[in-house]
Amino acid sequence: MLKKLLVLLIIAAPVAGICAPGTKNKKDEPVVHLTDEQIYEELKKLAMVFEVARDNFVEEADEKKMLEGAMNGMLGALDPHSSYLSADDFKDFNDKSHGEFGGLGIQITSDRGAVRVIAPIDDTPAEKAGIKAGDYITHIDGEQVFDLTLNQATQKMKGRPGTKVKLKVVSEGQEPRDITLKRAIIKVKSVKYEDKKLAGDESENPEKIGYIRISDFGATTTKELKEAIDALEKKDVIGYVLDVRNNPGGYLTAAIDVSDAFLDGGEIVSTRGKGKADIERSFAKPGDRTNGKPIVVLINHGSASASEIVAGALQDNGRALVMGSQSFGKGSVQQQKPLGDGTAIHITIARYYTPSGRSIQNEGITPDIEVLHSKVEVLEKRESMYSEASFKNSLKNETAKKKADKKYKDDAEEKEELTDEEKDALDYQLQRGMDMVRAMAKLKTRVVVPVSVSAGEEMTTEGKGDKPAKDDNIRAENAEQGKGKK
């Protein structure tokens, strides 16, 4: 038994060795590598721990559970995103990536032993229950999550559609609250779109702004996005708001394709693996599907990974203004490494960098214009209590429509669900984004900057909004390292 276990662990060890390049030790200490002999001794010790625990534990030991726990612990020691996937986990992962899966509709990560919400998925039980990005889940059906792996926590939240699960959720600045959710089949349509007008624009021909919401980056996102842009272009929109708020990410290839749809050239993203020469760069192909119209990208603290790639690519190429709040800061790429028996390793294989050479890891994307989520409050009513009509014996307006039966909405009407238009009007970030698109469209993205070199001369920047090359040294280094690679 001992000999077989050693062989199994030695086979698994090199696979775990392809961990995230440049991943820092929590104390920023250099990694001390073991010799082959030392590795063998540690593996022998691990096998002894297994046998002693199995033989002496007070109850019947579940050997499979013990070994899976050991592998999960090994990978979890690397970073929060690496883990062992059992056959069921691997199948669930693939089902989810292809647009349909069962559960609550919530993207989570591990954070110091707790389960932290990256973002809820649109139109799912989690989103409808009010769970927000940044919330912590401390209990699932009354059981603390601190002793569970991320996969175990995920499995406990899954179940047959229609069944219920109780979560204890902690939001910043609030008391813990219990939320009971009903599980459902989660069908993810990652792209929604429509042409919108600014709130309060009652003109006869209001300007149309193309609104595209991407909730995650899955296998169908690229196709759905192209259909959305083609449909909005036929409606002659003046520009676009690309909303990736609370988008937890997804496939790297989908992020590259989405960026490419808005670019006419330039680098999109570079990924750097373990070796110095292990650099891959992705570039946009000619052809901007939006025909150069102004774009605003909306982000917030729930925008992670692939969302940050898109925001960073459009920002660094001067193609879009990024508005909202600081993004999540997940700048690493994961890949599934099948082990041949239906199981797999989900492991960090690279870091990604924006075109200017910025690493997003632990930092996130900084918006060009910070617009925090705010509550819109009406400070002035349409009809004031103090007006000509308030005076005693004031003359009546004979042509005015009778309002006796048309008072302001009664209490019952006030409680009715808001329409989509009313929700848009209350979305402060969206309204400011649409304001900016309209302004950019009116200016035709032309900026004139006076220069004091000589009287009467001026410098113009057109089209793609060139930025000062603050990162020329990084660009030069990146170009040298990635020479000949694409």
Would you please indicate which residues are annotated as catalytic (active-site) residues? Answer: 305, 316, 330
Task: Give CA–CA dist 324/338, Å, rounded.
Answer: 39
Task: Give CA–CA dist 73/311, Å, rounded.
Answer: 34
**Vertex 342: Cα angle to 71 and 332 (nearest 5):** 55
Contact 271, 258 (CB under 8 A): no
Task: Give CA–CA dist 250/247, Å, rounded.
Answer: 9
Contact 118, 126 (CB under 8 A): no
Give the other-Cβ count within 10 Å of 486's Cβ.
8
Backbone angles phi, psi at 151, to 5 degrees: -65, -40
Six token digits for residue 406: 């048309």
Task: Give CA–CA dist 191/104, Å, rounded.
Answer: 19
